[in-house]
Structure 1
């Protein structure tokens, strides 16, 4: 929910900066996030700060408690594993349902996005590749006509992209993404519900395992 009159650009900028400061350790786990102090730090009014904290609570980075305000949650392997397990269940369901509604023109769009994704990866354009990956999955998810499920998935995209920008991908994971995306497209073309679900479940599990391994390796 956005406050009336909220400048979405300001809100998103503040949210992204607070998230970055949490992930880079500026705000350690357990630290209270005082609105008045955040107003001074980021040079904005209270309104976008409060809305940003609400969004970050949805991502799981911030806890908001009555009378206590906001504090930074610990971002550990257990949290990452739980987040991806939820994604696995929901995305598998969405890809199954999307086949019923997926048009040939949408499949063509997915093929073009995948082509652009592979070019971005080859050119080492991480930010562009992350954006294209999100776009690829968003088309499939939205096509399933379950906005409540999509809302749950969408609330973590910013966090996942930030974590990937920080920890990167293994070479093995990049190859897996390309292979999995191609198999998902083929399953959609063939209207093969079981194959689409199997590959999607594998795709999310591999993403979880790779990110956790990257976090372990780069923080030890």
Structure 2
């Protein structure tokens, strides 16, 4: 089993989400982190509310040590454990990407909502010795303003966060102050 999920309590506020302290085995997370840091073919992307390095995991040539990231078994098990507290609807993987944020980069408040395109997302963190001083905190908001922050989630190594995408799923990532912040991002939509 490649997925290791511990305690996945669901919360409804500010929008449906669940968090787990561990979603990937240590040896697998180490392989992913090493590839991200050394050989992954990152591409810079700049938009109105963020600048980050991205990698489409379905299009990249993945080494065998990290190919599990897009295997139906891994994704299916991860989705079953992380998303089951949020929905019983059958979901289909839309895409799997990886993101890298460097010092000075941030992701401003947004909701990712595009009607019918995606309904849920899972974020898996693979970050070396991350601390609050590094920045890069995932923030959930009850509205579109910075003062509406409702929950802050640390991007701890091997942790995972799942959430429902809707017009009210406002979230952001605080500015990176030090280190490189890596996230594997799985996006889903209803399969019907």
Give the TM-score of the pair, scaled to structure 1.
0.26
Give the structure with the larger helix fraction.
1
Give the structure with the larger strand fraction.
2
Q: Which has the higher contact order (CA 8 A, sep 6+)?
A: 2
Give the TM-score of the pair, scaled to structure 2.
0.28
Q: Which has the larger radius of gyration?
A: 1
